[in-house]
Structure 1
Amino acid sequence: MDETLTPTSPLRLLINGANGRMGQALQRLAAEQPERFVVIGAVTRKVGQRVIDGVPQFASAELAGAPECDVVIDFSLPEAFDAVLAHCVEHGRALVSGTTGLSESQRVALDAAGARIPVLWASNFSLGVAVLADLVERAARSLPGWDVDIVEQHHVRKLDAPSGTALTLGDAAGQGGAVPRYASLRAGDIVGEHTVQFATFGERIELTHRATNRDIFARGALHAAAWLANRPPARYRIGDLLG
């Protein structure tokens, strides 16, 4: 049977990091849109049940045996990232990744993979944050010499600090000529809050994004997967979705 994706076929997704908060949200939201998405496999560090809610489960070490898919969505940990990137390159599969805390060598590998497969990595899949990054770059360019501070807040279980989103916003400020400073807070169950402050003598500007529901990131990742499918090989960014 020809399994080529057609306009009426649901997008076949393989979720890496399926037991995490984002992985679970992705599976739940994809299941709510069966006409658009089907999760054909879930990859986790360890496997208990082989099938959960009709979705085949694979251990990380079994990634090579995962079924054909249109897009791999990866929300895992840096130590699991190399294997999934190599798998996508080897099999010519598009990759959407939101894994943060990547090393410089992993970022280089991500860029290199864009020569062979369509790949989109983002520290944050909120379209609001993509707009915020654009505003930050424009503000930094328009306000030379102003102090720029980025304050980010997340739940107590978040490991990396500054957050990947804060670093992305810092990169945007840097593109505008600023040198940002960072402050990180970990408290309670905060989903995510980022404030970029521009300050000089006598005045201050604050640009803030608050996420109150983790589903916004999962929805953004699913939107990115649908957008990325069948694109030519390249290293894409979340801002590319804004058109």
Structure 2
Amino acid sequence: MLQIIVHGCEGKMGKILTQTAQDCGSVQVAAGIDARCQEGYSLSNPVSFPCYSEFSHCRTEADVVVDFSNPACLAPLLAFCTERKLPLVIATTGFQPEELSAIEKAAETIPIFRSANMSLGINVMARMLRLAAANLEKDFNIEIIEKHHNKKVDSPSGTAFLLADAVNQGCQVKKDLVFGRHGRADECRITDMGIHAVRGGSIPGDHTVLFAGPGETIEITHRALSKDIFAAGALQAAAWLADREPGLYSMEDMLS
């Protein structure tokens, strides 16, 4: 049975992940790490595994660490995993370029799986976008609209950037990203790709890519009905990563 350590176990996704692991039967949560824990137990969520407030307090053996936290925790997370030689699944988003560089550096020592979205459906959608963009880029304007709950702090979403990257991978001429159009007086160029963020209520995540051409439109939409899909994808990634060599892996690697 796969043994995992959940970093961010007190957060919403951390709790969903631990419940999903318990339900699937092939994964066991060996320990949780979260600054909101008191030593040995969770304050808000009765669990059967030990919880720690700091990495240095955790001596639990495991096969993989799964991270659903925030970018501010990256440095100690990477230090913990590289010191222990533990494979790492990073499901956190919103990293700055220097943080992405730190992840790439750590991947020289341990296997790291990072995706801006752990949904299998989103990553299949990215494949579809590469094909669509390759055929439509010259005559179609391309716009991305993403919708999330009112507690999401990063905007646009990491998934919106993932989808934009997929579009540009399919294009011969890369699109220039435009974030909203407030205050812009110029026309929408065919080389622009707009990204628009909507926040409200409890929306788990909606992403639509609009291809608008002369006389026709195409919309490709992914709608998350539950956050459970992100936990399921992260657990699948953990099982896939457990016996890999050091390197930086993505959902595309797993799907291939």
- Same fold by TM-score greater than 0.5: yes
Structure-1 residue corresponding to 2:142: 148
Q: What's the CA shift for 1:84?
A: 0.6
Q: Is 2:72 the counterpart of 1:54? A: no
Q: Which runs of 5+ in 2 are unaligned?
A: 176-192
Matched residue SS, 1:32: helix
Amino-acid identity (%): 39
Aligned length: 231
Q: Does structure 2 retain, via aligned residues, the 8 Å contact 1:137–1:174?
A: yes
Q: Is the 8 A contact 2:144 2:196 kept in 1?
A: yes
The answer for unaligned runs of 5 or more in structure 1 is: 1-9
Find the partner of 1:103 among 96, 99, 103: 96
Q: 1:92 to 1:49 in 2, by over 3 A?
A: closer
Q: 1:21 aligns with which of 12, 23, 36?
A: 12
> For residue 44 of structure 1, what is the aligned residue in structure 2?
34
Q: Which residue of 2 aligns with 1:119?
A: 112
Q: TM-score scaled to structure 2, two decimals?
A: 0.87
2-structure distance, mates of 1:78, 1:242: 26
C-alpha deviation, 1:50, in angstroms: 2.2
Aligned to 2:194: 181
Aligned to 1:75, which of 58, 61, 68? 68
Q: How many angstroms apart in 1 are the aligned matches of 2:142 and 2:216?
A: 13
Question: Aligned letter for 2:29?
Answer: V
Q: Which amino acid aligns with 2:144?
A: I
* Partner in structure 2 of residue 3 of structure 1: none
CA drift at 1:89: 1.5
* TM-score, normalising length: structure 1: 0.91
Match of 1:55, SS state, is coil
Question: What is the deviation of 1:64?
Answer: 2.3
Shift in Å, 1:236: 0.6
Q: Where in structure 1 do 4 or more consecutive aligned residues deviate above 4 Å?
A: none
Task: Report the Cα distance in structure 1 between the residues aligned to 2:141 and 2:8, rounded to whole angstroms.
Answer: 38
1:170 to partner: Cα distance: 0.6
Distance, in Å, in 1 between the alignment partners of 2:158 and 2:10 is: 21
- Give the residue type in structure 1 aligned to 2:160: A
Please give the per-residue CA displacement for 1:24-47, whole angstroms capped at 9, x wherever unaligned.
01111111234x111111111222
